[in-house]
Amino acid sequence: MEVGFLGLGIMGKAMCMNLLRNGFKVTVWNRTLSKCEELVEHGASIGETPAAVMKKCKYTIAMLSDPSAALAVAFDKDGVLEQMCTGKGYIDMSTVDADTSKKISEVISKKGGYFLEAPVSGSKKPAEDGQLVILAAGDKVLFDEAIPAFNVMGKKSFFLGQIGNGAKMKLVVNMIMGSMMNAFSEGLVLADRSGLSQQTLLDVLELGAIATPMFKMKGPAMIQNNFTPAFPLKHQQKDMRLALALGDENAVSMPVAAAANEEFKKARSMGFGDHDFSAVYETVKTYGHSK
Ligand SMILES: NC(=O)C1=CN([C@@H]2O[C@H](COP(=O)(O)OP(=O)(O)OC[C@H]3O[C@@H](n4cnc5c(N)ncnc54)[C@H](OP(=O)(O)O)[C@@H]3O)[C@@H](O)[C@H]2O)C=CC1
Ligand SMILES: O=CCCC(=O)O
């Protein structure tokens, strides 16, 4: 199966490598073209523009940073829509809001193409291991046709119905995750400032009712102040912002998420945008009261 792949950041690169490893022929494009080189060493071809990739491939996948990137790659000159036509499928796996997906979807269907939004749960390591959870919505025929690709990138694919439902599900999940990361950071700082061992806190958490893979995976690095990015903090803050907008639309009060968003904004202003989202711990450490 021949597929196009647009966007070779942390996630796109890992997902694309899985496609190549599993026998897919892949044509790649990335805004910073040099990032294509490693994929080419593993058998990928390069497309000069998103339009060139679309022209060559029946199915094209995108994994881009945010709504403005998703819209630019679709609508700008040499973008996806220039070559969209009957029978072609476009699958945007970026985390965006429902409105962004709908804008892209509407134009694609006018041109006779198929569109699926398919954001993912799971980070760098699950992407490398083909263990993502895929939250798809849109064209069911395209979903069924994409299953062979989804099966090598993920461990489970959900079809959630109409366009926008995938984006919304992803934002709800990441809103919970961002709030949890803030509570976790406060707990780690509180343990330390009150004379407790942070490692013992991690051991206690792991054995109790609130044990979660996130605490186990991120905790040891956080207490070593290691924030090597798996999920960049700027993207988590974007997801909090989009989830809060979804809350506005639906009149859902979300004071916990709103406070968590403020912490992520503070962390961005402190220069942690490109660090892992667990670097929000630094804001709690810096602004938390010390005796
Ligand atoms: N990292 C993670 O753990 C997870 C991330 N996600 C989501 O997946 C998406 C990608 O995340 P991730 O790979 O971590 O992000 P990265 O920041 O590593 O990569 C972002 C990608 O988007 C491209 N890009 C950004 N702006 C533009 C633009 N204006 N035009 C064209 N291309 C652009 C970048 O190109 P360039 O290389 O030129 O900068 C790069 O390929 C995001 O929506 C994120 O929220 C979802 C699940 C987990
Ligand atoms: O959007 C990023 C999600 C990261 C994760 O699920 O661990």
Q: Which atom of ligand 2 is nearest to the CA of 126?
A: 7
Separation of CA 180 and ligand 1 centre (Å): 23
Cβ-contact 273, 265 below 8 angstroms: no
What is the pLDDT, as a whole number, of residue 207?
Answer: 98
Tell whether 213 and 93 lie within a shared domain: no
Mean local confidence (pLDDT), 253-268: 98
pLDDT computed for residue 1 by the predictor:
74
Question: Residue 195's CB: how many other CB atoms inside 10 A?
Answer: 6
* Closest C-alpha to ligand 1, atom 29: 69
Do 176 and 232 fall within a single domain? yes
CATH of the domain at 36: 3.40.50.720
At 2, the pLDDT band (50, 70, 90 cuts) reads: confident
H-helix or E-strand containing 24? none
Pocket-testing residue among 235, 236, 274, 278, ligand 1, by greatest number of atoms within 8 A of Cβ: 235
**Closest Cα partner for 281 from 269, 272, 239, 171?**
272
70-108, pLDDT tens digit by residue?
999 999 999 999 999 999 999 999 999 999 999 999 999
Among 13, 170, 218, 234, the one annotated catalytic: 170
CA-nearest residue, atom 25 of ligand 1:
65
Torsion of CA 130, 135, 138, 142, to 10 degrees: 20
pTM more than 0.95: yes
Q: What per-residue confidence (pLDDT) applies to 287? A: 80
Domain count, the chain: 2
Instruction: Please confirm, yes or no, whether 170 is among the known catalytic residues.
Output: yes
Which structural domain, as residue segments, surrounds residue 135? 2-162
Residue 34 CA to ligand 2 center (angstroms) comes to 26
If asked whether residues 39 and 53 sit together in one domain, one would say yes
ipTM over cut 0.95: yes
Query: Could you tell me if 87 and 185 lie in one domain?
Result: no
